Amino acid sequence: MLKLLTIIGARPQIIKAAALSRAIKNDFQGQITEVIVHTGQHYDENMSQVFFDELDIPQPNYNLNVGSGTHGKQTAAMIDGIEEILLKEKPSAIVLYGDTNSTLAGAIAASKIHVPVVHIEAGLRSFNKSMPEEINRIMCDHVSTLLFSPTKAGYQNLIKEGFKENNTAPYSIDNPKIYHCGDVMFDNSLHFSEIAEKKSGIIDQLKLTKNDFVLATIHRNNNTDEPERLHAIFSALDKITKQHQIKIVLPLHPRTAKLLSQNLNAELYSSIKTNKQIVITEPVSFLGMIALEKNAQLILTDSGGVQKEAFFFEKPCIILRTETEWTELVDCNAAIVTDANENKIIDTFNYFIKNRPASFPKLFGDGKAAQFICSEIVKHIS
């Protein structure tokens, strides 16, 4: 029996892990057992526990409770805790998701003591090393044994960085295997789409009319921490609601919630607070989020996950960043990168309201990426 040690910590990782845990439970019982370690990077009820309650993910076997901190302090505490658990549990491999500090900590802790690393969401690049995520994902990929890229572009990035397509088994940190395998988040969106429609009451709770509101999320560190960027984005949102008489729903990440009053000038802050068309809420559950995405007219976001979910649910997306790792979305004209440029955000909104994207091709696999990943792990990890 293979023992996988899965590291989760930030909200999107908890959601991603649901797909693999589901595949293990349904199709790999007797072949794979999973030990789940929550680093505690995210800890508010609505940033963590809500997903366990709703998505049928096993409760973590360990919680390191590291909480928030500077990159160094947070990552160091995680490395320390993860190493101790690896030495005790002696897993066959560690499974890491995405590009957060929890991912990096898992990669460092495991690779140094020769535990094979399985990286899910490998190969994605923004080519912008001022992002902490870019550093985390590059470091993690380069100590991994099995690298599962959700997109063709991600797979090609790995080849450009020297990974070889023709390595043969047995695989190791020095002889890694790269895959283009589809996206576990596409698996999740298919699995939870109808459940969200049936179970989530969020549209009624927020008094929204289906297809007559816009959804926005903002949490990327440069957008929240640089006052000019935060100002440009919120000023654009304020103007859009007034020009179009349309509601914008904003489930606000705690990072953004904390910085809003500090980084917006008093006039804009007051305008946002009194604007009845801007509906600011606490972070919502994943089913709530899917219900909002499915019923929104358009989505504005700086989130990686939300960009893709906009695409899965065939909604035009305005990307509030200078670049995206999910280049396919832009290549097929389903999303436009506006940066934190107020005029560009407003112009792109006006464009998308009149011109819906022509098509949303199937770019993210067949909805069975998690099963594929499990079957390759069973073949190649001993």
When asked if residue 119 is in the footprint of ligand UDP (CB under 6 A), the reply is no
The least CB distance from residue 265 to ligand UDP, in Å, is 26
Site string for ligand UDP, 232-251 (x = CB under 6 A): -------------------x
* Residue from 191, 219, 244, 253 carrying the catalytic annotation: 219
Nearer to ligand UD1, 43 or 360 (CB): 43
The least CB distance from residue 123 to ligand UDP, in Å, is 16
Query: Radius of gyration (Cα) for the chain, nearest Å?
Result: 20
Among 68-76, 239-247, 280-288, 318-326, the segment contacting ligand UDP (CB under 6 A): 280-288
Nearer to ligand UDP, 40 or 305 (CB): 305
* Whether the Cβ atoms of residue 117 and residue 107 lie closer than 8 Å to each other: yes
When asked if residue 309 is in the footprint of ligand UDP (CB under 6 A), the reply is yes
Nearer to ligand UDP, 98 or 176 (CB): 98
The least CB distance from residue 289 to ligand UDP, in Å, is 4
When asked if residue 304 is in the footprint of ligand UDP (CB under 6 A), the reply is yes
3-state secondary structure of 128: coil
Site string for ligand UDP, 198-227 (x = CB under 6 A): -------------------x-x--------
Nearest to 104 by CA among 76, 68, 64: 76
**219: annotated active-site residue:** yes
When asked if residue 369 is in the footprint of ligand UDP (CB under 6 A), the reply is no
Nearer to ligand UD1, 317 or 374 (CB): 317
Burial of 328 (0-12, 13-18, 19+ CB in 10 A): buried
Among 79-87, 143-151, 278-286, 338-346, the segment contacting ligand UDP (CB under 6 A): 278-286
Helices (H), the chain: 11-27, 49-55, 71-89, 101-112, 132-141, 152-160, 184-199, 202-205, 221-225, 227-244, 254-263, 266-274, 286-295, 304-312, 327-331, 342-354, 369-380
CA distances 230 to 226, 317, 382, Å, are 6, 18, 48
The least CB distance from residue 371 to ligand UD1, in Å, is 26
| DSSP characters over 190-220 | HHHHHHHHHH--HHHHTT--TTSEEEEE---
Binding residue for ligand UDP, selected from 12, 40, 116, 357, defined by CB under 6 A: 12
- Report the partner that residue 43 touches, choosing among ligand UD1, ligand UDP, none (CB closer than 5 to 8 A by kind): ligand UD1
Binding residue for ligand UDP, selected from 284, 296, 319, 334, defined by CB under 6 A: 284
d(CA 244, CA 326): 29
* Whether the Cβ atoms of residue 47 and residue 283 lie closer than 8 Å to each other: yes
Torsion angle in degrees (nearest 10) through CA of 304, 237, 269, 250 = -50
Can you give the binding site for ligand UD1, defined by CB under 6 A? Answer: 10-12, 41-44, 47, 68, 99-101, 132-133, 219, 221, 253-255, 258
| Amino acid identity at 108 | I
Nearest to 366 by CA among 193, 155, 190: 190
User: Half-sphere exposure (CA, 13 Å, Cβ side) for 115?
Assistant: 28
- Report the partner that residue 251 touches, choosing among ligand UDP, ligand UD1, none (CB closer than 5 to 8 A by kind): ligand UDP
Binding residue for ligand UDP, selected from 40, 305, 316, 365, defined by CB under 6 A: 305
What token pair was written down for 343?
């005029």
The catalytic residue positions are 219
Residues that bind ligand UDP (CB under 6 A): 11-12, 15, 217, 219, 251, 283-284, 286, 289, 303-306, 309
